[in-house]
Amino acid sequence: MADYVRAKPAGPALKAFVLTNFVVPGENDRGSGDLRMHVRTLWPQLVRQPVAPVAGSSALPLPAPYVVPGGRFREIYYWDSYFTMLGLKVDGQQPLVESMLDDFTSLIERYGHIPNGTRTYYLSRSQPPYYALMLDLSTNTDPAIVKRRLAALRVEHAFWMKGTACLDGKPACLRVVRMPNGSVLNRYYDDRDTPRDESYAEDVATAAKAAPRPAADTQRNLRAGAESGWDFSSRWLRDPKSLATVHTTDIVPVDLNSLLWAMERRIAERCRTANDAACATAFTTLAAERKTAIDHYLWQANTARYADWDLSMRKPTASINAAMLHPLFVGLASPAQAEAVAATVQRSLVAEGGLRTTTLNTGQQWDEPNGWAPLQWVAIAGLERNGEPALAKDIAKRWLATVGAAYAETGKMLEKYNIEQRTPGGGGEYPVQDGFGWTNGVTSAILDRYPDLAQKAK
C-alpha cells in the first residue's frame, strides 16, 4: 500500500505495478489425452499444502492439504469442495478427501460455521451446507474423529438455526424464517450489509442503481446471493433483467432446505450410533417437521415442481430452475413427486448439452444458457436414486459431450459451459475460469458411474 500511494501508478504503469507486487493466475498448459486421464493429471496441480498466512494476509489457515478450484480461486471454497471430493474419491485420492474433511471440521470448530471461502472477508456468510454429505465420503472410522465430526456437524446446524431465538413474531431473523402456518424453514443471508470485499466496485454500482432503496439493503441481498452459491440468478431478482432488484433474503430456497433436512437426518443417525437417544429423537423430529413444511410450501403439485417461496409475496416464485432436483438428490421426494419433477425437468430444463440452470436468459451467470457441473450431478444422482435412470444417463451423456467439446477446443476444464451451443459459458462478474475443481470432480464421478460414456467423451 505504501508503494502504491508513493507511485500512484496509472495506465501501463498500473499493470506493471500489479505484476510486480502480486501473483496473477496465468494460463494453464493445454491438456491432452482423454478426459479422465486429464482430470487425474490436474489433481496434483490443484492441491495446496497448509501454510501459515503472512502478516496482513486475508487467508484463513488450514491444518491439512486441500484442493482449490483453479483460475482466480486460489483458496478452498465450501460447496465447490463436495463436488471436487466426489472426483477425488473415485480417482483414488481418499487421503485428500479425509484431509479436506479435517480442514472443514477445523473451520467449524474455529469459526462456528464453514465460511464461503477461506478468506477473512468470507467469514460473514457460509454456502450451501454440504458438510453432512461430505462426511458420507469418508472411510475413517476412528471413534475420536467420528465424535469430533458429529460435534462439528451439530455446531454447523446451530449456525443455520441461530435466528430461531430472535424471531419474536417477525417473519425472519438471520437465516431462519417463520412460515405463515408457524413452521420454520431457512433462507440465505449474510451477517454484513456492506459491499463485498471481493466485488466492491460491482456492489457499489449495483446499490447506486437501486436507489432510493437503501444501499445496505441491496448489499445484504447481494451478499446473501453469494451465500447461495448462485451469484447471481433470476431466482433472486424481482425483475429478472435487473440485478438491482435482488431480494435473496425474501426467498425460502428449496435447495437449502433440502440440504438442511439431509443434515438433520444424518445428525440423528450419527447420534443414534453414538447411543445419544435424546439427540437422535430431537433431530428426527426436526427433520420430520422440515419435510412437512417443504411439502406444504415448496412442493407445487399443480405445476409438477418444487419451487422457492417468496416471503414478501406469500407465494411460490415463478422460477423454474435446477434447484428443484435437490429433494430427489437427498431422498426427500416421494415417488409421485419425483416422477412429476422428472417430467418437468425433461420438458423445461434438458438442453442439447446438459441441464439448464433456469429457463431465463438474463446475462447472469446462474441463468440460461449456462450449465454448471454441481447441478448436473445433483440431477443425475437424484434422478437415478428415484427410478429415472434413463433421464439421468441422458443428462450425463449430454453434459459430457459439452465438456468434451470445450476440452477438444481449449484443452481445459472450465467452470461453466453454454449448454445450448456446447461452448465456454459467459455472463456474471468475471471471465470464465479454468482449472476447474468441481467440473473435474463431476466428470470423474460421471465416468465412474457410466464407464460406457468414456469413449464418447474423448
Query: Active-site positions?
Result: 231, 415
In 3-state terms, what secondary structure has residue 29?
A: coil
Contact by Cβ (8 Å): 269, 136? no
In 3-state terms, what secondary structure has residue 11?
A: coil
Residue that has been written with the C-alpha cell 499493470 in this structure: 15
Please name the residues in contact with 126: beta carbons below 8 A apart, sequence gap of 6 or more.
78, 113, 114, 115, 116, 159, 160, 227
Task: Round to the nearest angstrom and report the end-to-end CA distance of the chain.
Answer: 48
In 3-state terms, what secondary structure has residue 181?
A: coil
Burial class (CB in 10 A: 0-12, 13-18, 19+), 142: exposed
Contact by Cβ (8 Å): 91, 43? yes
- Opening angle at CA 243, ends 344 and 325, nearest 5: 25
Q: Which amino acid is at 131?
A: Y
- Opening angle at CA 373, ends 370 and 379, nearest 5: 100
Contact by Cβ (8 Å): 438, 374? yes
CA dist 193 to 12, 245, 362, Å? 35, 16, 25
Contact by Cβ (8 Å): 315, 322? no
Nearest to 317 by CA among 258, 254, 260: 254
259: its cell numbers: 440440504
Q: Is the peptide bond before 369 cis (omega within 30 degrees of 0)?
A: yes
Q: How far is CA 383 from the centre of its chain?
A: 19
Phi, psi of 411, rounded to the nearest 5 degrees: 75, 15
Residues facing 176 on adjacent strands: 173, 186
Residues facing 77 on adjacent strands: 117
Contact by Cβ (8 Å): 428, 232? yes
Phi, psi of 112, rounded to the nearest 5 degrees: 85, 0
